[in-house]
Amino acid sequence: MAKNFKIGEMFKSGIITNNPVLMQTLGICPTLATTSSVENGLGMGVSAMVVLIASNVVISLLRKVIPKKIRIAAYIVIIAGFVTMIDLILKAYGPSLSKSLGLFIPLIVVNCIILGRAEAFASKRTVGASFFDGLTMGLGFTFALFIIATVREIFGAGTFLGHEVFGSAFQPASIIGMAPGGFLVLGIIVAVIQLIQRKKKEKKEGNA
């Protein structure tokens, strides 16, 4: 898909078959850190997606200008620029979200999904393709965060988006909300998705 990329295919790849978190296990630090509540998970996902799209587009535009030797430094500067911009804008116009995400917004700079896509995709492809790559990978990241955060918030705190799900008799397992629980939930979700993928493959082979 060098030039005529297929958008539908890219969506499927970014969200399911090549999902950055669930399939490539990239960006695990922000994934575990922000998924203790659905609101934070979504905020992180969307912020990272915006940075990813913007950095992909700019890096793709500059791909012939940036010499190979200093590409990583150049990418980091560009990514850090966008992250700082998002940070300032959130502080000015979305102070409550900015507060709950806190340190994790500046940490998008070192999110390996963004650098990974810059290196593996945007530095070699056209601007349009890079834009869609950023969009689909960002959606995949947000989707993964949403699923993990949903499981963790429901079982770890007994709420969904802050609303109580079970009655007051429910005793939340607070370990799910902490880091070890994050690893457990992530592991189980990855395992379930692998199982589904394998079943699908087997079915396909069986039919053929």
Given the rule CB under 8 A, which residues bind other proteins?
A: 33-34, 36, 40, 62, 65-67, 69-70, 73-74, 77-78, 80-81, 84-85, 88-89, 91-93, 95, 99, 102-103, 174, 177-178
Closer residue to other proteins in complex, CB, 80/193: 80
Closer residue to other proteins in complex, CB, 72/191: 72
Closest contact distance (angstroms) between CB of 145 and other proteins is: 14
Closest contact distance (angstroms) between CB of 98 and other proteins is: 9
Closest contact distance (angstroms) between CB of 93 and other proteins is: 7
Closer residue to other proteins in complex, CB, 179/196: 179
Closer residue to other proteins in complex, CB, 174/197: 174
DSSP labels, the chain: --SS--HHHHHHIIIIIT-TTTTT---HHHHHHHTTSHHHHHHHHHHHHHHHHHHHHHHHHTTTTS-GGGHHHHHHHHHHHHHHHHHHHHHHH-HHHHHHHGGGTGGGGG-HHHHHHIIIIITTS-HHHHHHHHHHHHHHHHHHHHHHHHHHHHHHHSEETTEE-S-TT----GGGGSHHHHHHHHHHHHHHHHHHHHHHHHHHHHH-
Closest contact distance (angstroms) between CB of 123 and other proteins is: 14
Closer residue to other proteins in complex, CB, 102/128: 102
Closest contact distance (angstroms) between CB of 144 and other proteins is: 18
